[in-house]
Amino acid sequence: MRILIVSQYFWPENFRINDLAAGMVERGHEVTVLTGIPNYPAGRFFKGHGFFRKTTEAYKGVRILRVPLIPRGKGSGVRLALNYVSFAFSATVLSPFRCRGEFDLIFVCQLSPVTVGLPALFLKKIKKAPILFWILDLWPESLSATGAVQSRKVLTQLDKLVQYIYQGCDKIVVASKGFLPSVIAKGIAVERTAFFPNWYEPEYSAQSSSNEKTRIPDLPTGFHVMFAGNIGVAQDFGTILSAAEMLKSYPDIFWIILGDGRQYEWVKEQVKIKGLTGKILMMGRHAPEAMSAFFSLADTMLVTLKRDPAFALTVPGKIQSYMACGKPIVAALDGEGGRLIKESGTGLSSPAEEPAALAESILTLYRMPKTEREAMGLRGKAYCEKNFGRDMLLDRLDGWMRELI
């Protein structure tokens, strides 16, 4: 098959769509990606990239075609909106010139924003190719949940845009089963939908070598609660900070925060204000290859989300990564994510935005014999390998693609 992937984000930005594209090449397909200039999460173009530099690249057999966009900057509302709109506009206008030749199928990776579907719909008319649309972020619900958009009138118009995009697609697959009612409510027949979750990255399930461990900073001796990923509004760091305050009197409980995001500087400031310096260690972003080494030093992995109906439908992709490393998970979230943690037996989940409940869960794991924590982690790892294996899921996607063409 000749597959055209439309995604605002792609390598060297770190998203699963990179692995998906490479996986389709492994299966013998010719894969082209229409994407923007890499600028996530720092908000500025990656070194060596620009409006007229590296507009065509290659990654693991994938041909990458880039179009201009306005970088997201510090992620303010106006700048983020310009980032989203500029990609949708330039990808639509320039795609006939950048994406020459024929394609059998168009695959859309919809993180944020949903407007990534607009150039795909335009290309569908030109290339006469079906669209398979992968939803990883539910719009406009997630915008309302984060407070990015509060105007009811704007949300209503965005809802109509989402409906227009969905109805122009031939098949829609969702990363969370909780997304399905919203998709179906927009007039999409059930048989045109399917569940396609995130898979775990193989490197997270690998055992860290001693060499890998020497490349990461030393951690204080004690019980390590580790968070890895985006540091933003949705992740509800207020709850994490409050729980850390409640456990301040335990000298050997440490919070290891890996990642970056719009609230990174705010969290750093709050750590100082609340007297948590030395207890919460902000360690910044690290290469994906280093995650296995970091995770091997954790006693429990942490995942949190704000309390909102939209987030209750979401399963953060980090849960699969945490499961794969064989560590128990402690969570403060509602709905699908919490259900998955409980169903798999991989850890403890408390309601979103309840710091006392999160602190109590951490204390339960802290006091638990190490062998019991290890058993929790192994249950999660086994569940993950059975339900979220990369090759199994990519084979399933390959089958849907073949059916469409």
Structural domains of the chain, with CATH: 2-199+389-404 (3.40.50.2000), 202-387 (3.40.50.2000)
Q: Give residue for tokens 């980090």.
A: 318
Per-residue pLDDT tens listing for the chain (405 residues) = 999 999 999 999 989 999 999 999 999 999 999 999 999 988 999 999 999 899 999 999 999 999 999 999 987 788 999 999 999 999 999 999 999 999 999 999 999 899 999 999 999 999 999 999 999 999 988 888 777 777 888 889 999 999 999 999 999 999 999 999 999 999 999 999 999 999 987 766 655 443 444 467 889 999 999 999 999 988 999 999 999 999 999 999 999 999 998 899 999 999 999 999 999 999 998 887 788 889 999 999 999 999 988 888 888 889 999 999 999 999 999 999 999 999 999 999 999 999 999 999 999 999 999 999 999 999 999 999 999 999 999 999 999 999 999
DSSP for 278-306 reads: TTEEE-----GGGHHHHHTT-SEEEEE--
Residue identified by tokens 């979103």 is: 352
In which element (H, E) is residue 270 found? helix 264-273
Q: What is the pTM of this model?
A: 0.85
pLDDT computed for residue 206 by the predictor: 54
pLDDT at 209: 43
- Angle in degrees, CA 393, 311, 394, rounded to 5: 10
Enter the tokens of residue 203: 């490197």
What DSSP element (H or E) covers 164? helix 152-167
pLDDT for residue 253 = 97
d(CA 397, CA 399): 5
Torsion of CA 284, 286, 291, 297, to 10 degrees: -50
Q: Which residues contact 265 (CB under 8 A, 6 or more apart)?
A: none
Whether 124 contacts 168, CB under 8 Å:
yes
Cβ pair 66, 36 in contact under 8 A:
yes
pLDDT at site 317: 86
From residue 211, give the alpha-carbon distance in Å to each of 75, 204, 215, 290, 292.
36, 16, 7, 11, 12
For residue 207, the model assigns a pLDDT of 52
Cα 22 from Cα 54, distance rounded (Å): 19
**Strands (DSSP E) along 259-369, which ranges?**
280-282, 300-304, 329-332, 347-350
